[in-house]
Amino acid sequence: MILFLYNLALLVVLVAGAPWWLWRMATTQKYRQGLSQRLGRVPAPLLAPRDRPLIWVHAVSVGEVLAVTRLVQTLDAGLPHHALVVSTTTLTGQALARQRFGADRVFYCPLDLPWAVRAYLRALQPRMLILAETEFWPNLLSACFRRAIPVAVVNARISDRSWPRYRSLRSFWKPLLSRLSLVQAQSAVDADRLAAIGCARVSVAGNLKFDVRAARQAEATRLLSQCAGLRWLVAGSTLDGEEAALLAAWPQLLAVDPRLALVLAPRHPERFAAVAALLQTSGFSWTRRSHWSASSPGPIGPGHIVLLDTIGELASVYSLAAVAFVGGSLVPAGGHNPLEPAQFGVPIVMGPHTANFRAIVDDLLAHRALRTAAAGQLAPSLIALLRDPAAAAAMGARAREVFERQAGATDRCAAAICALLAVASGQERPQ
Protein backbone atom coordinates (compact mmCIF):
# COMPACT_ATOMS: atom_id res chain seq x y z
CA MET A 1 0.00 0.00 0.00
CA ILE A 2 2.81 2.41 0.89
CA LEU A 3 4.53 1.75 -2.43
CA PHE A 4 1.24 2.24 -4.28
CA LEU A 5 0.71 5.62 -2.61
CA TYR A 6 4.31 6.61 -3.37
CA ASN A 7 3.89 5.77 -7.07
CA LEU A 8 0.56 7.58 -7.19
CA ALA A 9 2.18 10.69 -5.71
CA LEU A 10 5.10 10.31 -8.12
CA LEU A 11 2.70 10.16 -11.07
CA VAL A 12 0.91 13.31 -9.91
CA VAL A 13 4.21 15.16 -9.55
CA LEU A 14 5.39 14.03 -13.00
CA VAL A 15 2.14 15.07 -14.70
CA ALA A 16 1.90 18.40 -12.87
CA GLY A 17 5.57 19.18 -13.45
CA ALA A 18 5.72 18.03 -17.07
CA PRO A 19 5.68 21.55 -18.61
CA TRP A 20 8.53 22.65 -16.36
CA TRP A 21 10.59 19.53 -17.06
CA LEU A 22 10.03 19.86 -20.82
CA TRP A 23 11.14 23.48 -20.70
CA ARG A 24 14.27 22.60 -18.68
CA MET A 25 15.14 19.80 -21.10
CA ALA A 26 14.77 22.17 -24.03
CA THR A 27 16.98 24.84 -22.47
CA THR A 28 19.49 22.99 -20.27
CA GLN A 29 21.86 20.26 -21.35
CA LYS A 30 22.09 18.53 -17.98
CA TYR A 31 18.37 17.70 -18.11
CA ARG A 32 18.70 16.13 -21.58
CA GLN A 33 21.93 14.26 -21.03
CA GLY A 34 21.37 10.57 -20.47
CA LEU A 35 17.59 10.91 -20.55
CA SER A 36 17.02 7.68 -22.47
CA GLN A 37 19.13 5.77 -19.92
CA ARG A 38 17.23 7.38 -17.05
CA LEU A 39 13.97 6.20 -18.61
CA GLY A 40 15.12 2.59 -18.86
CA ARG A 41 17.25 2.17 -22.00
CA VAL A 42 20.20 0.09 -20.86
CA PRO A 43 23.42 1.15 -22.67
CA ALA A 44 24.87 -1.38 -25.09
CA PRO A 45 28.10 -2.17 -23.16
CA LEU A 46 26.01 -3.42 -20.24
CA LEU A 47 24.03 -5.74 -22.53
CA ALA A 48 27.10 -7.52 -23.85
CA PRO A 49 27.50 -11.20 -22.84
CA ARG A 50 29.59 -11.57 -19.69
CA ASP A 51 31.13 -14.41 -17.76
CA ARG A 52 31.08 -12.77 -14.32
CA PRO A 53 28.22 -11.69 -12.05
CA LEU A 54 27.75 -7.95 -11.61
CA ILE A 55 27.82 -5.71 -8.57
CA TRP A 56 26.02 -2.41 -9.12
CA VAL A 57 27.44 0.65 -7.29
CA HIS A 58 25.42 3.88 -7.28
CA ALA A 59 27.12 7.22 -6.55
CA VAL A 60 25.00 10.31 -7.11
CA SER A 61 27.44 13.06 -8.04
CA VAL A 62 31.06 14.16 -7.87
CA GLY A 63 31.39 13.92 -4.10
CA GLU A 64 30.04 10.39 -3.97
CA VAL A 65 32.13 9.28 -6.95
CA LEU A 66 35.24 10.57 -5.22
CA ALA A 67 34.22 8.82 -2.01
CA VAL A 68 33.67 5.40 -3.61
CA THR A 69 36.69 5.50 -5.95
CA ARG A 70 39.00 3.64 -3.59
CA LEU A 71 36.18 1.30 -2.56
CA VAL A 72 35.56 0.32 -6.19
CA GLN A 73 39.29 -0.18 -6.71
CA THR A 74 39.50 -2.31 -3.55
CA LEU A 75 36.53 -4.45 -4.58
CA ASP A 76 37.92 -4.80 -8.11
CA ALA A 77 41.08 -6.27 -6.61
CA GLY A 78 39.36 -8.34 -3.92
CA LEU A 79 36.53 -9.73 -6.05
CA PRO A 80 38.19 -10.74 -9.34
CA HIS A 81 35.32 -13.08 -10.19
CA HIS A 82 32.81 -10.21 -10.13
CA ALA A 83 32.43 -7.18 -12.38
CA LEU A 84 31.54 -3.79 -10.91
CA VAL A 85 29.43 -1.24 -12.75
CA VAL A 86 28.80 2.30 -11.54
CA SER A 87 25.81 4.59 -11.99
CA THR A 88 25.51 8.30 -11.27
CA THR A 89 22.68 10.82 -11.31
CA THR A 90 24.35 14.07 -12.31
CA LEU A 91 26.19 15.10 -15.46
CA THR A 92 29.32 16.06 -13.52
CA GLY A 93 29.26 12.79 -11.58
CA GLN A 94 28.96 10.89 -14.85
CA ALA A 95 31.96 12.68 -16.37
CA LEU A 96 34.15 12.00 -13.34
CA ALA A 97 33.02 8.37 -13.05
CA ARG A 98 33.85 7.74 -16.70
CA GLN A 99 37.27 9.23 -16.11
CA ARG A 100 37.84 7.15 -12.96
CA PHE A 101 36.29 3.80 -13.91
CA GLY A 102 36.05 3.71 -17.71
CA ALA A 103 33.07 4.61 -19.88
CA ASP A 104 32.09 1.01 -20.64
CA ARG A 105 30.96 0.36 -17.06
CA VAL A 106 29.41 3.73 -16.16
CA PHE A 107 25.79 4.71 -16.80
CA TYR A 108 23.02 7.02 -15.62
CA CYS A 109 20.91 5.63 -12.81
CA PRO A 110 17.31 5.06 -13.91
CA LEU A 111 14.65 7.31 -12.51
CA ASP A 112 12.70 5.66 -9.70
CA LEU A 113 9.98 4.57 -12.10
CA PRO A 114 8.89 0.91 -11.95
CA TRP A 115 9.51 0.12 -15.64
CA ALA A 116 12.90 1.87 -15.73
CA VAL A 117 14.11 0.07 -12.60
CA ARG A 118 12.86 -3.29 -13.92
CA ALA A 119 14.70 -2.80 -17.22
CA TYR A 120 18.04 -2.40 -15.47
CA LEU A 121 17.56 -5.22 -12.98
CA ARG A 122 16.55 -7.61 -15.78
CA ALA A 123 19.55 -6.61 -17.90
CA LEU A 124 22.18 -6.47 -15.16
CA GLN A 125 20.96 -9.26 -12.86
CA PRO A 126 23.18 -7.75 -10.14
CA ARG A 127 24.44 -9.98 -7.37
CA MET A 128 24.38 -6.92 -5.07
CA LEU A 129 23.43 -3.23 -5.10
CA ILE A 130 25.71 -0.82 -3.22
CA LEU A 131 24.34 2.66 -2.53
CA ALA A 132 26.55 5.58 -1.48
CA GLU A 133 25.21 7.78 1.33
CA THR A 134 21.38 7.81 1.51
CA GLU A 135 20.09 7.17 -1.98
CA PHE A 136 16.90 5.50 -0.77
CA TRP A 137 14.59 5.11 -3.77
CA PRO A 138 11.47 3.09 -2.92
CA ASN A 139 10.90 1.41 -6.30
CA LEU A 140 14.56 0.49 -6.68
CA LEU A 141 14.75 -0.92 -3.17
CA SER A 142 11.46 -2.83 -3.47
CA ALA A 143 12.44 -4.34 -6.82
CA CYS A 144 15.76 -5.54 -5.35
CA PHE A 145 14.03 -7.05 -2.34
CA ARG A 146 11.55 -8.92 -4.56
CA ARG A 147 14.49 -10.46 -6.42
CA ALA A 148 16.38 -11.21 -3.20
CA ILE A 149 19.22 -8.92 -4.27
CA PRO A 150 21.07 -7.77 -1.15
CA VAL A 151 21.36 -4.00 -0.79
CA ALA A 152 24.30 -2.45 1.05
CA VAL A 153 24.63 1.22 1.94
CA VAL A 154 28.09 2.71 2.46
CA ASN A 155 29.07 6.12 3.81
CA ALA A 156 25.50 6.42 5.07
CA ARG A 157 24.49 9.65 6.72
CA ILE A 158 21.47 11.77 7.54
CA SER A 159 22.27 15.47 7.62
CA ASP A 160 20.90 17.87 10.21
CA ARG A 161 18.74 19.42 7.52
CA SER A 162 17.31 16.06 6.36
CA TRP A 163 16.82 14.52 9.80
CA PRO A 164 13.45 16.16 10.69
CA ARG A 165 11.99 15.07 7.35
CA TYR A 166 13.19 11.47 7.71
CA ARG A 167 11.98 11.31 11.30
CA SER A 168 8.50 12.56 10.40
CA LEU A 169 8.26 9.89 7.64
CA ARG A 170 9.76 6.98 9.59
CA SER A 171 6.54 4.97 9.30
CA PHE A 172 6.97 5.17 5.51
CA TRP A 173 10.68 4.31 5.54
CA LYS A 174 10.78 1.56 8.15
CA PRO A 175 9.25 -1.26 6.01
CA LEU A 176 11.86 -0.57 3.32
CA LEU A 177 14.94 0.24 5.36
CA SER A 178 14.48 -2.67 7.74
CA ARG A 179 15.21 -4.99 4.79
CA LEU A 180 18.59 -3.48 3.92
CA SER A 181 21.29 -6.12 4.25
CA LEU A 182 24.10 -3.81 5.41
CA VAL A 183 24.33 -0.16 6.42
CA GLN A 184 27.77 1.33 7.09
CA ALA A 185 27.32 4.74 8.74
CA GLN A 186 29.77 7.62 8.74
CA SER A 187 29.41 8.37 12.46
CA ALA A 188 27.64 7.25 15.62
CA VAL A 189 25.13 10.09 15.23
CA ASP A 190 24.31 8.92 11.71
CA ALA A 191 24.00 5.32 12.90
CA ASP A 192 21.54 6.32 15.63
CA ARG A 193 19.44 8.30 13.18
CA LEU A 194 19.41 5.49 10.62
CA ALA A 195 18.38 2.98 13.28
CA ALA A 196 15.60 5.30 14.43
CA ILE A 197 14.00 5.33 10.95
CA GLY A 198 14.15 1.58 10.53
CA CYS A 199 17.62 0.39 9.50
CA ALA A 200 18.19 -2.88 11.34
CA ARG A 201 21.79 -3.76 10.48
CA VAL A 202 23.75 -0.58 11.08
CA SER A 203 27.39 -0.23 12.06
CA VAL A 204 29.85 2.67 12.10
CA ALA A 205 32.58 2.26 9.48
CA GLY A 206 33.71 5.88 9.27
CA ASN A 207 33.68 8.28 6.38
CA LEU A 208 34.97 7.08 3.01
CA LYS A 209 35.92 10.65 2.23
CA PHE A 210 38.78 10.38 4.72
CA ASP A 211 40.25 7.85 2.28
CA VAL A 212 39.94 10.19 -0.71
CA ARG A 213 43.25 10.78 -2.42
CA ALA A 214 43.84 12.83 -5.56
CA ALA A 215 43.94 10.09 -8.20
CA ARG A 216 46.82 11.72 -10.07
CA GLN A 217 48.39 15.08 -10.65
CA ALA A 218 46.01 17.01 -12.88
CA GLU A 219 47.28 18.83 -15.94
CA ALA A 220 46.15 22.10 -14.35
CA THR A 221 48.36 21.38 -11.33
CA ARG A 222 51.37 20.74 -13.53
CA LEU A 223 50.83 23.96 -15.49
CA LEU A 224 50.21 26.11 -12.41
CA SER A 225 53.28 24.72 -10.68
CA GLN A 226 55.39 26.18 -13.50
CA CYS A 227 54.40 29.69 -12.42
CA ALA A 228 57.39 30.39 -10.18
CA GLY A 229 57.23 32.82 -7.30
CA LEU A 230 53.44 32.75 -6.80
CA ARG A 231 51.47 31.76 -3.72
CA TRP A 232 48.05 30.31 -4.49
CA LEU A 233 44.73 30.84 -2.79
CA VAL A 234 42.50 27.99 -4.02
CA ALA A 235 38.77 28.59 -3.62
CA GLY A 236 36.98 25.34 -4.42
CA SER A 237 33.37 24.29 -4.96
CA THR A 238 32.06 27.85 -4.79
CA LEU A 239 28.39 28.70 -5.16
CA ASP A 240 26.50 31.79 -6.27
CA GLY A 241 27.44 34.74 -4.08
CA GLU A 242 30.72 33.28 -2.88
CA GLU A 243 32.74 34.31 -5.93
CA ALA A 244 31.56 37.91 -5.42
CA ALA A 245 32.61 37.77 -1.76
CA LEU A 246 36.06 36.50 -2.73
CA LEU A 247 36.48 39.18 -5.39
CA ALA A 248 35.44 41.87 -2.89
CA ALA A 249 38.17 40.61 -0.53
CA TRP A 250 40.79 40.21 -3.27
CA PRO A 251 42.37 43.74 -3.07
CA GLN A 252 42.79 43.36 0.71
CA LEU A 253 44.46 39.98 0.27
CA LEU A 254 46.83 41.29 -2.39
CA ALA A 255 47.79 44.21 -0.14
CA VAL A 256 48.93 41.68 2.47
CA ASP A 257 50.62 39.27 0.02
CA PRO A 258 51.48 40.81 -3.38
CA ARG A 259 52.67 37.39 -4.66
CA LEU A 260 49.19 35.92 -4.34
CA ALA A 261 47.20 34.43 -7.23
CA LEU A 262 43.71 32.92 -7.06
CA VAL A 263 42.21 29.70 -8.42
CA LEU A 264 38.42 29.99 -8.49
CA ALA A 265 36.60 26.68 -8.99
CA PRO A 266 32.78 26.92 -9.15
CA ARG A 267 30.96 23.81 -7.97
CA HIS A 268 28.57 23.47 -10.91
CA PRO A 269 29.65 23.56 -14.58
CA GLU A 270 26.47 25.35 -15.62
CA ARG A 271 27.74 28.38 -13.64
CA PHE A 272 31.10 28.62 -15.43
CA ALA A 273 29.77 31.18 -17.90
CA ALA A 274 28.18 33.32 -15.17
CA VAL A 275 31.40 33.36 -13.14
CA ALA A 276 33.38 34.21 -16.28
CA ALA A 277 31.04 37.16 -16.85
CA LEU A 278 31.57 38.27 -13.25
CA LEU A 279 35.34 38.11 -13.71
CA GLN A 280 35.11 39.99 -17.00
CA THR A 281 33.55 42.98 -15.21
CA SER A 282 35.75 42.73 -12.11
CA GLY A 283 38.72 44.62 -13.48
CA PHE A 284 41.12 41.87 -12.41
CA SER A 285 43.43 39.95 -14.72
CA TRP A 286 42.00 36.48 -15.26
CA THR A 287 42.17 33.34 -17.43
CA ARG A 288 39.88 30.40 -18.14
CA ARG A 289 41.58 27.05 -17.54
CA SER A 290 39.79 25.63 -20.60
CA HIS A 291 41.52 28.20 -22.83
CA TRP A 292 45.05 27.13 -21.92
CA SER A 293 47.26 25.50 -24.47
CA ALA A 294 48.50 21.97 -23.89
CA SER A 295 51.96 23.19 -22.92
CA SER A 296 51.50 26.42 -21.01
CA PRO A 297 48.88 28.31 -18.97
CA GLY A 298 50.02 31.54 -20.57
CA PRO A 299 51.04 34.72 -18.72
CA ILE A 300 50.05 34.33 -15.06
CA GLY A 301 51.52 36.70 -12.51
CA PRO A 302 50.74 38.11 -9.08
CA GLY A 303 47.10 39.11 -8.67
CA HIS A 304 45.96 36.86 -11.54
CA ILE A 305 42.77 34.80 -11.21
CA VAL A 306 42.37 31.39 -12.85
CA LEU A 307 38.81 30.19 -13.46
CA LEU A 308 39.02 26.40 -13.10
CA ASP A 309 36.25 25.52 -15.55
CA THR A 310 37.13 21.81 -15.82
CA ILE A 311 35.92 18.65 -14.10
CA GLY A 312 38.10 16.49 -11.86
CA GLU A 313 41.13 18.78 -11.44
CA LEU A 314 40.27 20.62 -8.22
CA ALA A 315 41.34 17.86 -5.81
CA SER A 316 44.83 17.89 -7.29
CA VAL A 317 45.06 21.70 -7.59
CA TYR A 318 44.49 22.02 -3.83
CA SER A 319 48.03 20.63 -3.42
CA LEU A 320 49.42 24.00 -4.60
CA ALA A 321 47.47 26.11 -2.11
CA ALA A 322 49.06 28.29 0.53
CA VAL A 323 45.51 28.63 1.88
CA ALA A 324 42.25 27.01 0.74
CA PHE A 325 38.69 28.24 0.94
CA VAL A 326 36.09 25.45 0.67
CA GLY A 327 32.82 26.74 -0.72
CA GLY A 328 29.15 26.05 -0.33
CA SER A 329 29.68 27.35 3.19
CA LEU A 330 29.27 31.15 3.07
CA VAL A 331 25.74 30.56 1.77
CA PRO A 332 23.29 28.16 3.49
CA ALA A 333 24.07 25.14 1.29
CA GLY A 334 25.76 22.89 3.86
CA GLY A 335 29.35 23.21 2.64
CA HIS A 336 31.61 20.92 0.63
CA ASN A 337 34.42 18.54 1.47
CA PRO A 338 37.35 20.07 3.44
CA LEU A 339 39.28 16.81 3.25
CA GLU A 340 40.40 17.49 -0.31
CA PRO A 341 42.80 20.24 0.84
CA ALA A 342 43.41 18.57 4.24
CA GLN A 343 45.12 15.59 2.59
CA PHE A 344 47.86 17.96 1.35
CA GLY A 345 48.40 19.70 4.69
CA VAL A 346 46.76 22.92 3.50
CA PRO A 347 45.22 25.36 6.03
CA ILE A 348 41.46 25.64 5.42
CA VAL A 349 38.88 28.37 5.81
CA MET A 350 35.14 27.75 5.46
CA GLY A 351 31.99 29.74 6.01
CA PRO A 352 29.58 28.97 8.87
CA HIS A 353 27.30 26.62 6.88
CA THR A 354 28.96 23.20 7.16
CA ALA A 355 26.12 20.78 8.01
CA ASN A 356 26.85 18.49 5.06
CA PHE A 357 30.22 17.63 6.59
CA ARG A 358 29.33 18.17 10.23
CA ALA A 359 31.43 15.37 11.75
CA ILE A 360 34.48 16.12 9.60
CA VAL A 361 34.34 19.86 10.28
CA ASP A 362 33.87 19.27 14.01
CA ASP A 363 36.90 17.00 14.08
CA LEU A 364 39.04 19.51 12.19
CA LEU A 365 37.86 22.36 14.42
CA ALA A 366 38.58 20.34 17.56
CA HIS A 367 42.19 19.95 16.39
CA ARG A 368 42.52 23.61 15.31
CA ALA A 369 42.92 22.43 11.73
CA LEU A 370 40.19 24.59 10.17
CA ARG A 371 38.73 28.06 10.65
CA THR A 372 35.16 29.13 9.98
CA ALA A 373 34.18 32.70 9.16
CA ALA A 374 31.02 34.52 8.16
CA ALA A 375 31.08 36.50 4.93
CA GLY A 376 32.12 39.71 6.70
CA GLN A 377 35.07 37.96 8.36
CA LEU A 378 36.30 36.05 5.32
CA ALA A 379 39.03 38.53 4.40
CA PRO A 380 40.41 38.86 7.97
CA SER A 381 40.48 35.07 8.39
CA LEU A 382 42.40 34.58 5.15
CA ILE A 383 44.71 37.51 5.91
CA ALA A 384 45.62 36.08 9.32
CA LEU A 385 46.88 32.89 7.67
CA LEU A 386 48.66 34.70 4.85
CA ARG A 387 50.48 36.95 7.32
CA ASP A 388 51.72 34.07 9.45
CA PRO A 389 53.09 31.28 7.23
CA ALA A 390 54.40 29.33 10.23
CA ALA A 391 50.98 29.24 11.90
CA ALA A 392 49.37 28.37 8.57
CA ALA A 393 51.83 25.49 8.05
CA ALA A 394 51.16 24.17 11.55
CA MET A 395 47.42 24.35 10.94
CA GLY A 396 47.81 22.48 7.66
CA ALA A 397 49.92 19.80 9.35
CA ARG A 398 47.17 19.27 11.93
CA ALA A 399 44.63 18.94 9.10
CA ARG A 400 46.74 16.24 7.47
CA GLU A 401 47.06 14.41 10.81
CA VAL A 402 43.26 14.39 11.19
CA PHE A 403 42.93 13.11 7.64
CA GLU A 404 45.43 10.28 8.13
CA ARG A 405 44.16 9.27 11.55
CA GLN A 406 40.57 8.84 10.35
CA ALA A 407 41.48 6.77 7.29
CA GLY A 408 40.42 3.14 6.98
CA ALA A 409 36.69 3.30 6.24
CA THR A 410 37.29 1.87 2.76
CA ASP A 411 38.86 -1.32 4.10
CA ARG A 412 36.12 -1.75 6.71
CA CYS A 413 33.35 -1.29 4.13
CA ALA A 414 35.05 -3.61 1.63
CA ALA A 415 35.45 -6.35 4.24
CA ALA A 416 31.77 -6.09 5.24
CA ILE A 417 30.64 -6.18 1.59
CA CYS A 418 32.79 -9.23 0.82
CA ALA A 419 31.41 -11.04 3.88
CA LEU A 420 27.84 -10.21 2.87
CA LEU A 421 28.49 -11.36 -0.69
CA ALA A 422 29.91 -14.67 0.55
CA VAL A 423 26.71 -15.29 2.52
CA ALA A 424 24.40 -14.13 -0.29
CA SER A 425 26.14 -16.18 -2.98
CA GLY A 426 24.59 -19.37 -1.63
CA GLN A 427 21.06 -18.05 -1.86
CA GLU A 428 18.82 -18.53 -4.86
CA ARG A 429 17.23 -15.42 -6.23
CA PRO A 430 13.84 -15.41 -7.97
CA GLN A 431 13.95 -14.10 -11.51
Residues contacting 175, CB < 8 A, separation 6+ = 2, 198
Which residue ranges does the chain devote to CATH 3.40.50.2000? 219-405
Is 64 labeled as catalytic in the residue annotation? yes
Which residue ranges does the chain devote to CATH 3.40.50.11720? 32-206+408-424
CB atoms < 10 A from the CB of 243, how many?
23
What would the mean pLDDT of 141-161 be, rounded to a whole number? 95
Annotated active-site residue in 64, 135, 242, 313: 64
CATH topology (fold) of 219-405: Rossmann fold (3.40.50)
The answer, yes or no, to whether residue 154 has pLDDT greater than 60, is yes
One-letter identity of residue 339: L
Predicted confidence (pLDDT) per residue in 65-97, tens digit: 989 999 999 999 999 999 999 999 999 899 999
184 or 35: which leads in pLDDT: 184
The answer, yes or no, to whether residue 20 has pLDDT greater than 90, is no
Instruction: Give how far the C-alpha of residue 396 lies from the chain's centroid of Cα atoms, to the nearest Å.
Output: 22
Q: Which band of pLDDT confidence, cut at 50, 70 and 90, is reported for residue 22?
A: low
The answer, yes or no, to whether residue 391 has pLDDT greater than 70, is yes
The packing angle between helices 91-101 and 62-78, to 10°, is: 30
Check: CB of residue 289 under 8 Å from CB of residue 308: yes
Share of the chain above pLDDT 90, in %: 76
At residue 98, the 3 state secondary structure works out as helix
Predicted confidence (pLDDT) per residue in 330-379, tens digit: 999 999 999 999 999 999 999 999 988 888 999 999 999 999 999 899 99
| DSSP structural state of residue 208 | G
Does 1.10.1740.10 match the CATH number of domain 32-206+408-424?
no
